[in-house]
Chains A and B, each alone.
Chain A
Amino acid sequence: MFDMTVVLDYRGALLHGLWMTAWISALAIVLGLVIGVLAAIARVSSHRLWRALAAVYISALRGTPLLVQLAVIFFMLPLIGVQLPALLAAIIALALNSGASQAEILRGGFATLPPGQTEAAWDIGYTRWQVLRYVQLPQVLRATIPALVNETIDIIKNSSLVSTIAVTELMRVAHTYSSTTYRPIEFFLAAGLLYLLLTLTVSQAGRYLERRLRHA
């Protein structure tokens, strides 16, 4: 018998799961942005070694499933003596995965900037770092907001995979209680609705940000 009210008894655990999902994703997306910026810069660097490293990183992380990446970080790193708690392993895997996607998004953003703006900044005395910080990044981030919002939504959804290494986020909570109560439909539906709530919030926030930053 389908009865959604059963999940209400477990709302505390579900909301805690949602909260875990939210901040794991948030941390992953922010760390991923830092990694993405670095990788995007390395990708167009004048040093061949940096370019090669960035290319390898990006293709490796974009060309393999997140589940495999999680397994490598959580199960294989201990073999070489690096023991990571599940939560940390999850965040690192998600951030590395997202960093590769964000690097590609940002690279596209850098490519759309007219080179003259950078030239003008250099000409007037900006250091390379100032050019990046004050001329390029603000515009690249603005231009890539829609793509970065999509990436954030992907990360939220993909974060459900970290339940496989026993991180008690939303998916894990739903899974646990669906088996103890024998009510899988209700719990997975509830989890789905909560994911939807989170992703809709993010996309609305993205739209708001886009509107606010658009001028002229």
Chain B
Amino acid sequence: MNNPIIKLIDVTKRFADNLVLKGISLEVNAGEVVCIIGGSGSGKSTLLRCIDFLEHYDSGEVLVQGRMIGYGADPHGNFIRLPERVVQQDLANVVMVFQQFNLWPHKTVLENVMAPLRLVAGMDRAQARDKALAVLGKVGMAHKADAYPATLSGGQQQRVAIARALGREPKIMLFDEPTSALDPELVGEVLKVMRALADEGMTMVVVTHEMGFAAQVADKVVFLANGLIEEQGPPSALFGAPQSPLLQSFLATWTERNGGVTGA
């Protein structure tokens, strides 16, 4: 496949004096699952957030389905920030699942999923309701349709957030440490849903600390360190025979704490 669905070319991002991304180039093909790993402060969340323009990258290019995200040329050929609506249209097939779920606490589970269907997709109430119940069923949360988010466990909230994202019928899903805010016993139920999505051929970019998930589900693992891609490749290579000393020590530390890259 020489036509990647996501393509990053030399992307940089600076926060004040801190150059967080120092030039990232990355390709993701349709249907691939790419896991991004790395220590805290390595820039992995920032990288993910640049793809759907929650962070505005400073230089380089982010291309989704061939369209440059966030920037373009005006009619006079000047390079400009594109209007928000244009950016949102260019990202219509991309949704993010967040570490903190970001459900709307004043709405029930069903309303959380229905609201975007009504407001963004323009469905009528009955249509939106059917669709919402269908995606909630898919993540095993239809029985909690009338509950408020605060009454649910973290794992349940994250599954609802995934359902809300699925309602948009995305082609690409970005996961920003989707299980990092969860109690250990709740991680599995979310990973199971993600694995099912991967099996269906969803294109996924996942920032994660779940090495077991990365090892088993990813087509490609990207190791980020100090704002650069230090090493990338199939999980067997990265976990089985890491080349870079930084990755070796990262994995050694991780193994010490968690006991091997086999679980999940």
Task: List the interface of chain A (C-beta within 8 A of B).
Answer: 114, 116-117, 119-128, 130, 134-135, 138-139, 142, 215-216
Q: Which residues of chain A are within 8 angstroms of B165 by Cβ–Cβ distance?
A: 124
Binds A, one of B36-44, B67-75, B102-110: B102-110
Chain B residues, CB < 8 A from A216: 105, 148-151
Given contacts A114-B100, A128-B84, contact A123 B95 (CB under 8 A): yes
| Interface 9-residue window, one of B115-123, B187-195, B209-217 | B115-123
**What chain A residues lie within 8 Å of B85 (beta carbons)?**
127
B window 155-176: CB within 8 A of A: 161, 164-165, 168
Given contacts A119-B102, A135-B104, A124 and B151 within 8 Å (CB-CB): no
Q: Is B264 an interface residue (CB 8 A)?
A: no
Listed by A's residue number, 14 A-B pairs whose Cβ atoms lie within 8 Å are A114-B100, A114-B102, A116-B102, A117-B102, A119-B54, A119-B98, A121-B104, A122-B54, A123-B95, A123-B96, A125-B116, A126-B116, A128-B84, A216-B148
The tally of CB-CB contacts under 8 A between chains A and B is 63
Which residue in chain A gives the minimum CB-CB distance to B94? A123
B219 at the interface (CB under 8 A from A): no
Chain B interface size band reads: 20 to 34
With beta carbons under 8 angstroms apart, the residue of B98, B115, B168 that contacts A116 is: B98
Which of chain A's residues have a CB closer than 8 A to the CB of B106?
138-139, 142
Q: How distant is B37 from chain A, measured CB to nearest CB, in Å?
A: 22
- Bound Cα distance from A114 to B103, whole angstroms: 11
Within 8 Å CB of A139, what residues of B?
104-106
Say if the beta carbon of B88 comes within 8 Å of chain A: yes
Residues of A within 8 A of B148 (CB): 215-216
* Chain A CB within 10 Å, residue with most, of B52, B105, B148: B105
Instruction: Collect the chain B residues with CB atoms within 8 Å of residue A215's CB.
Output: 148, 150
Which 9 residue pairs of A and B lie closest in terms of their CB atoms, listed nearest first? Answer: A120-B102, A125-B120, A216-B150, A116-B102, A216-B148, A124-B116, A123-B96, A216-B151, A116-B100
- Given known A-B contacts A130-B119, A142-B106, A124 and B168 have beta carbons under 8 A apart: yes
Q: Which of B88, B91, B98, B120 contacts A120 (CB 8 A)?
A: B98
Known: A120-B98, A127-B84. 19 other contacts (CB 8 A): A116-B98, A117-B104, A119-B54, A120-B104, A123-B54, A124-B120, A125-B116, A125-B120, A125-B168, A126-B116, A126-B119, A126-B120, A127-B85, A135-B104, A139-B104, A139-B105, A142-B106, A216-B148, A216-B149
Residues of A with C-beta under 8 A to B92: 125
Which B residues are CB-close (under 8 A) to A123? Answer: 52, 54, 91, 95-96
Question: Within B115-159, which residues are at the interface with A (CB < 8 Å)?
Answer: 115-116, 119-120, 148-151
Q: Which residues of the partner chain B approach A126 to less than 8 Å between Cβ atoms?
A: 116, 119-120
User: Which chain A residue shows the least CB distance to B152?
Assistant: A216
- Min CB gap A184→B, angstroms: 49
A residues in contact with B115, CB < 8 Å = 134
Q: Which residues of B contact A116 (CB under 8 A)?
A: 98, 100, 102
CB distance from B125 to the nearest CB of A (A): 15
**Assembled-state Cα–Cα distance A127/B92 (Å):** 13
In the bound complex, what is the Cα–Cα distance between A142 and B105 (angstroms)? Answer: 11
Taking the closest CB of chain A, its distance from the CB of B150, in whole angstroms, is 4
| Chain A residue with Cβ nearest B85 | A127
A124 to chain B, nearest CB (A): 5
Contact among B88, B105, B150, B161 with A125 in the assembled complex (CB-CB below 8 Å):
B88
Of B98, B102, B149, B164, chain A has the most CB atoms within 10 Å of the CB of B102
**Please, which residue of chain A has its CB at the minimum distance from the CB of B49?**
A119
Q: How long is the Cα–Cα vector from A174 to B216 in the complex, in angstroms?
A: 81
| Residues of chain B lying within 8 A (CB to CB) of residue A125 | 88, 92, 116, 119-120, 168
- Bound together, the chains give a CA A116 to CA B165 distance in angstroms of 14
B136 to chain A, nearest CB (A): 16
Q: Looking at the assembled complex, report how far the CB atom of A48 sits from the nearest CB atom of chain B, in whole angstroms.
A: 18
